[in-house]
Each structure stands twice: as C-alpha cells, then as structure tokens.
C-alpha cells in the first residue's frame, strides 16, 4: 500500500505492516504524512482488558513530553491484529534519576532496558536512530488496568517480558547434607541427646554480660531477661524512624521506567 492509497485510520496500520523498516523513510518523503499517521492510529480502538499480549510495532519516533517541559519521550504505536486494538507506549529519555528501588538509574537508562527486552540494544547501536528497524515486528506487551477519578483505563504498562527468570546454578556444585540419625528399633528407648549449650547472640562491646543464675536482679529489672538500653515508646505512641520508607517508583507520569502512558495524542 502507498501513502496516496490511504483512506481510513486502519490503512496506516496496513501501510506499516506492508513496508516494515522502510515506513519512517517513506513518511518523511511525503509532507505531513507522519503527523497524519499519528493522528490516524490514535483514533483506532484501544485495549480494553488487562493481560499479557503481543503487538506489532507500527510507528516509532520521539516527541516532547506533555507532562514535563523540556523532557523528550520515545513513542511507539503497537497494534494487536487479533484483538483489532492498539495503543501508544512512551518511554522517558530524561537524565533525571528515578527514586526508590531504581534510584541508581536514570529514566533514560530504564527506557533503554525496556528496549533491550524487545531486541534493540541502544548502547550497541549508539543511539535510537535504528529503532525504525522494529516496525513490523511483533513484541510481547503488558496491558495494565488503572483507575483514576472513578474511570478505568487500560494502557500499555510495559514492553518485553514483564518477569525476571533467575540464572541457573550448577548441579555439580550442590553438596549433600548430613544424613539423618537412624531411628531406634521398635521398643528400644531413644539414646539421650548430648547436652548442648544454648547459642548466644553476639553482644556489643559496651553491653554488660547477662546476670548469672540466682544472682539478685537490679532494681526495676526482671530476672532472666536482657534489658534494652534504649527506652521503648509508650503504648499507643509511634516508634522513632529507624528504617527507611518502603521503596517506590518515582513520580514520572509514565509507567515502567517512565514509559507506558497509553493515552491518545
């Protein structure tokens, strides 16, 4: 299919599937064609259920973020032919650092990781210029259900595998445990267990050793229990903040690694 043959929004999907990696080059040769394609696919039916699906890459590009001034995001339109539905996936290219569990990565690094899961190594390619090679390919996606202001939305929350497979261990390096002790014969008493000393926790250097048996406890102290040198909070009071708050993703309006916002243009 040629650009001049396009009559419906769905024809843009057919055009991309027919031309594959040449799609973006052909769009650039026709004035305004790229924007018409983005507008057209944005009017197609969107995903309507949560789950793991596959989708074909129809368009790739970059655009200014609608949420953060000065930020650029990658955008890919993904289409599921069996469901006759699709949507946009967007990944932030911001050099700001994420928070929580991913505080050591920038949003751009997270987006690059997501692209790596669908077969595009941005580091090896030296950038994002090779992304049009993905057009026409089918990739795994995760459609995420979200609820906001009483409305339910289904957006592309992630591309590529949405789970991690742990690496294998060598079976040759797994040792055998000690065999269990044999049970006594029927009617025979079990052998008495050898006396064992109670395990002791390591004590800080400044802490006094435990009081010996039958030694009188100091005032205001119960015998037989180690005392905590730090005062405990009274009943109903909150303890002091000893632990860090639970990690969470940063405030990016996009989904995974700053990507996954599926709203239309």
Would you kindly state where each structural domain of the chain is located, as residue ranges? 3-163+250-258
**Least confident residue range of 122-136, 169-183, 190-204:** 190-204
What digits encode the pLDDT tens for the residues 61-71? 999 999 999 99
Dump the DSSP string for 195-218: P-PPP-----TTSPPPPPTTPPPP
Query: Looking at residue 74, what DSSP letter applies?
Result: E
Report whether pLDDT(16) > 50: yes
Longest Cα–Cα distance of the chain, Å, equals 99
- In which band, very low, low, confident or very high, does the pLDDT at 174 lie, cut at 50, 70 and 90? confident
pLDDT at 179: 72
Asked if 79 and 89 count as a contact pair (C-beta separation under 8 A), the reply is: no
Q: Which backbone phi and psi does 210 adopt, to 5 degrees?
A: -65, 150
- In which band, very low, low, confident or very high, does the pLDDT at 184 lie, cut at 50, 70 and 90? low
Global pTM reads: 0.64
Report whether pLDDT(224) > 90: no
Average pLDDT in the chain = 79
- In which band, very low, low, confident or very high, does the pLDDT at 99 lie, cut at 50, 70 and 90? confident
H helices of the chain, where? 9-19, 23-29, 33-42, 107-116, 122-125
Report whether pLDDT(155) > 90: yes
What value does the mean pLDDT take over residues 125-138? 97
**Least confident residue range of 49-58, 167-176, 188-197, 241-250:** 241-250
Distance CA 188, CA 37 (A): 86
Is pLDDT larger for residue 249 or for residue 172? 172
Distance CA 18, CA 2 (A): 9
pLDDT at 28: 97
Distance CA 95, CA 107 (A): 6
Asked if 40 and 58 count as a contact pair (C-beta separation under 8 A), the reply is: no
Please enumerate in sequence order all residues whose Cβ is within 8 A of that of 100, keeping only pairs 6 or more positions apart, or say none.
Answer: 247, 248, 249, 250
Distance CA 109, CA 115 (A): 10
**Least confident residue range of 94-98, 118-122, 249-253:** 249-253
Burial of 50 (0-12, 13-18, 19+ CB in 10 A): middle
What value does the mean pLDDT take over residues 73-102? 95
Report whether pLDDT(110) > 70: yes
């Amino acid at each position: 299919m040629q650009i001049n043959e396009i009559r419906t929004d769905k024809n843009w999907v057919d055009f991309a599937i027919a031309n594959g990696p040449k799609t973006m080059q052909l769009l650039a040769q026709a004035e305004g064609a790229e924007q018409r394609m983005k507008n057209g696919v944005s009017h197609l039916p969107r995903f309507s259920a949560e789950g793991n699906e596959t989708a074909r890459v129809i368009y790739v590009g970059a655009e200014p973020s609608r949420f953060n001034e000065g930020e650029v995001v990658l955008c890919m339109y993904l289409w599921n032919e069996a469901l006759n539905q699709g949507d946009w996936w967007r990944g932030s290219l911001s050099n700001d650092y994420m928070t929580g569990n991913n505080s050591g990565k920038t949003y751009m690094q997270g987006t690059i990781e997501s692209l790596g899961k669908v077969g595009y190594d941005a580091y090896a390619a030296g950038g994002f210029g090779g992304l049009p090679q993905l057009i026409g390919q089918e990739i795994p996606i995760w459609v995420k259900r979200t609820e906001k202001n009483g409305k339910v939305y289904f957006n592309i929350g992630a591309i590529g595998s949405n789970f991690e497979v742990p690496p294998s261990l060598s079976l040759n390096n797994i040792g055998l445990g000690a065999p269990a002790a044999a049970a006594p014969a029927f009617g025979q008493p079990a052998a008495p267990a050898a006396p064992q000393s109670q395990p002791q926790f390591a004590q800080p250097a400044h802490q006094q050793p435990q009081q010996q048996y039958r030694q009188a406890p100091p005032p205001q102290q119960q015998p037989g229990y180690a005392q905590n040198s730090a005062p405990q909070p009274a009943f109903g009071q909150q303890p002091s903040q000893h632990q860090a708050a639970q990690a969470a993703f940063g405030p990016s309006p996009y989904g995974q690694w700053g990507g996954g916002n599926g709203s239309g243009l």
